[in-house]
């Protein structure tokens, strides 16, 4: 059984140092995806905006600046109250979001109780996934009369799917 930890909260989209607007959001964590957090922003369109990034990044970002590239997170104070800032960057644009530190921290604490740090790999059924990847394909294990078997399997490995760089005309 998998655990889901969610929290609805209101973030602030920072437009300038003097101006921001409210953005309803949902923080989600699933024990079957133990390394990731999911943030869904409801931006007033028919389609919410979803971001997924490492839980560890958000945990660290509550205490000190971290991240680079598409997601950066750091703590600060705005008007004397503690907040967590998230800078998100994509080909569609950039956003700076301000989240109440106490609400984010309380939600993160629930995720850490659900799946303690260092135990994430135990949540993944890697053995079953590996067994599925290594299981013989029904097409390859068919009898030769069914068009499968060793000859069909050998054909898959012996045929070169990419043409040779060498020209047959000696040019």
18-39 pLDDT, tens digit each: 999 999 999 999 988 888 999 9
Q: Containing H/E element for 127?
A: helix 126-134
Mapped onto helix, strand or coil, the DSSP state of residue 57 is helix
* Average pLDDT value for residue range 120-138: 67
With beta carbons less than 8 A apart as the criterion, state whether 52 and 38 touch: yes
pLDDT at 158 over 70: no
**Could you identify the residue written with the tokens 């060793």?**
150
Q: Please choose, from the candidates 1, 30, 33, the residue with its C-alpha nearest in 3D space to the C-alpha of residue 121.
A: 33
* Average pLDDT value for residue range 157-171: 55
Identify the pLDDT of residue 3: 85
Mapped onto helix, strand or coil, the DSSP state of residue 91 is coil
Region of poorest pLDDT, from 39-48, 81-90, 129-138: 129-138
pLDDT at 123 over 70: no
Length of the chain: 171
Structure tokens at 35: 């390394």
Strand partners, 90: 93
pLDDT at 57 over 60: yes
pLDDT at 166 over 60: no
d(CA 96, CA 62): 15
Q: Containing H/E element for 162?
A: none
**Could you identify the residue written with the tokens 């799946």?**
115
**Could you identify the residue written with the tokens 């990034």?**
53
Per residue in 63-117, pLDDT tens? 999 998 899 999 999 989 999 999 999 998 999 999 999 999 999 999 999 888 7
Identify the pLDDT of residue 126: 59
With beta carbons less than 8 A apart as the criterion, state whether 141 and 61 touch: no
């Amino acid at each position: 059984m998998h655990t889901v930890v969610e929290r609805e909260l209101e973030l602030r989209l920072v437009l300038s140092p003097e101006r921001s607007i409210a953005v309803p959001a949902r923080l989600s964590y699933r024990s079957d995806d133990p390394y990731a957090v999911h943030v869904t922003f409801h931006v007033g369109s028919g389609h919410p905006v979803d971001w997924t990034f490492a839980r560890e990044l958000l945990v660290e970002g509550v205490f000190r600046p971290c991240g680079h590239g598409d997601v950066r997170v750091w703590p600060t104070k705005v008007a004397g109250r503690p907040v967590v800032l998230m800078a998100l960057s994509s080909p569609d644009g950039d956003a700076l979001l301000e989240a109440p530190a106490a609400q984010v921290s309380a939600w993160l604490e629930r995720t850490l109780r659900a799946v303690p740090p260092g135990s994430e790999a135990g949540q993944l059924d890697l053995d079953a996934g590996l067994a599925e990847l290594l299981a013989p394909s029904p097409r390859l294990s068919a009898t030769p009369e069914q068009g499968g078997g060793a000859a069909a399997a050998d054909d898959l490995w012996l045929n070169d799917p990419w043409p040779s760089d060498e020209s047959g005309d000696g040019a």
